[in-house]
Chains A and B, each alone.
Chain A
Amino acid sequence: DIQMTQSPSSLSASVGDRVTITCRASQSIGRYLNWYQHKPGTAPKLLIYGASSLQSGAPSRFSGIASGTDFTLTISSLQPEDFAIYYCQQSYSAPWTFGQGTTVDIK
């Protein structure tokens, strides 16, 4: 199985901060990497697919890049509605696997 390792597991930030979350795959997954935002009690939302493509409706402050097996999600200017848990997920091969999640909370 492909392991997805996210870091950090949690971070505290202020509104307006630039936030970066990383995800490392245990083997090559090409660009089959997706990022989701999840708020408790709601359905997860797709933010980024194919490592760097912004999902329709997702704010442009979210961006993603890939470098080999390392992937990065950046929030350019954190907004109050961005406090949530973020997950990476590989869709390269079964079994599909998620990172353990990164909790972004208020500093």
Chain B
Amino acid sequence: QVDLLQSGAEVRKPGASVKVSCQTSGHTFTKYYIHWVRQAPGQGLEWMGIINPNTGGASYAQRFQGRVTMTSDTSTITLYMELSSLQSDDTATYFCARVSSWYGPMDFWGQGTLVTVSS
């Protein structure tokens, strides 16, 4: 069955970077795009960006432009989301989610990765 397995919780200091992984299984890696969505404590869901695992092409939310990089590794069927210059308000649970078309619904989600930014 389809599974998106994310890496474990991370703690970073302000100014540092974090790289979260999302390993897929149960579907053809190159046929599904992957979104990254985050949820800060007590807040709603916030879209960060989307990547085409086949081409590596990505589109990012403007507020993260210059600070986020989404990549894919077809050899390990893993997607990555790296966020730099972390601040305390980046403390959140980060989710990956797949879609079968660029404008399709997010039908499977990873379990989430908690990133805590604290000095």
- Interface set, chain B 30-49, CB cutoff 8 A to A: 35, 37, 44-47
Look across to chain B and name the residue whose beta carbon is closest to the beta carbon of A85: B44
| Contact between A87 and B45, CB atoms less than 8 A apart | yes
| Contact between A98 and B105, CB atoms less than 8 A apart | no
Look across to chain B and name the residue whose beta carbon is closest to the beta carbon of A90: B103
Q: Does B9 contact A (CB under 8 A)?
A: no
Q: Give 18 CB contacts A-B under 8 Å.
A: A38-B45, A42-B112, A43-B95, A43-B109, A43-B110, A43-B112, A44-B109, A46-B105, A46-B107, A49-B104, A49-B105, A55-B105, A55-B107, A91-B99, A91-B104, A95-B62, A96-B50, A101-B44
Which residues of B are interface residues toward A (Cβ below 8 A)?
A: 35, 37, 44-47, 50, 59, 61-62, 95, 97, 99, 103-107, 109-112
Give 6 new A-B contacts, CB below 8 A, not counting A36-B45, A91-B105: A32-B103, A43-B112, A46-B105, A87-B45, A98-B44, A99-B44
10 shortest interchain CB distances as A-B pairs: A49-B105, A43-B109, A34-B105, A96-B47, A98-B45, A101-B44, A91-B103, A95-B61, A46-B107, A100-B44
